[in-house]
Structure 1
Amino acid sequence: MMLFHVRMDVRLPHDLAPEARAEIVAREKAYSQELQRTGKWAHLWRIVGKHSNYSIFDVESNDELHTILSGLPLFPYMDIHVTPLATHPSYVAAADHER
């Protein structure tokens, strides 16, 4: 598995109709919660004071992450920054991951 740190900043148009906004946000929630249940979206944190989040994804490949992110209903309204992660050699539990 590959781990990725992802920052997502959502920028919904101010003139988006309330009904359309509610519908796309509901689809986003359902999609993200399903990915969380499968373990692909391993962690999700809100960035205080912003319509943004920090997330950790645990996926098989860059391509899988791209497919997941581009499938987000809010994808057209997001600025996304992806950082690949690797185990740090000083991480105490690293020995457990190598067994």
Structure 2
Amino acid sequence: MLFHARLDIAVPRGMDPEVRADLFERDRSYLARAEGVRRLQAVGEQVEFLLIEAADHEQVHTWLAERPLARFATITLTAVTAHR
């Protein structure tokens, strides 16, 4: 199945810069290991758009929940189909 996820990310502004940098580095590493995921970043915003290929919504939910940035994101998930 194919899913579209929108993540509105709101990392606290007062977060220690070293902690923030580590959080984003761990998230980048997590994304680098992901298969079947295409990531797009909105310009000038803390918003990501993902296209995710997965067996079912449970797999997507688990994958998204394990992302280091998940606790700072409001996530909207939609099952989609590709038209040719």
**TM-score, normalization: structure 1?**
0.80
Alignment pair present for 1:49 and 2:24: no
In structure 2, how many angstroms separate the alpha carbons of the residues matched to 1:21 and 1:34? Answer: 20
Q: Which has the larger radius of gyration?
A: 1
| 5+ residue gaps, structure 2 | none
1:80 to 75, 79, 82: 75
The corresponding residue for 1:4 is 3
In structure 1, how many angstroms separate the alpha carbons of the residues matched to 2:32 and 2:9? Answer: 17
**TM-score, normalization: structure 2?**
0.93
The corresponding residue for 1:96 is none
% same residue: 29
Deviations 1:36-93 (A, max 9, x none): xx22x1x1111112011111000011110000000010101001111101244xx2xx
In structure 2, how many angstroms separate the alpha carbons of the residues matched to 1:21 and 1:74? Answer: 10
In structure 1, how many angstroms separate the alpha carbons of the residues matched to 2:81 and 2:62? Answer: 21
- Poorly superposed stretches of 4+, deviation over 2 Å: none
Which SS does the other structure have where 1:26 is aligned? helix
Which SS does the other structure have where 1:22 is aligned? helix
Which SS does the other structure have where 1:16 is aligned? coil
The corresponding residue for 1:20 is 19
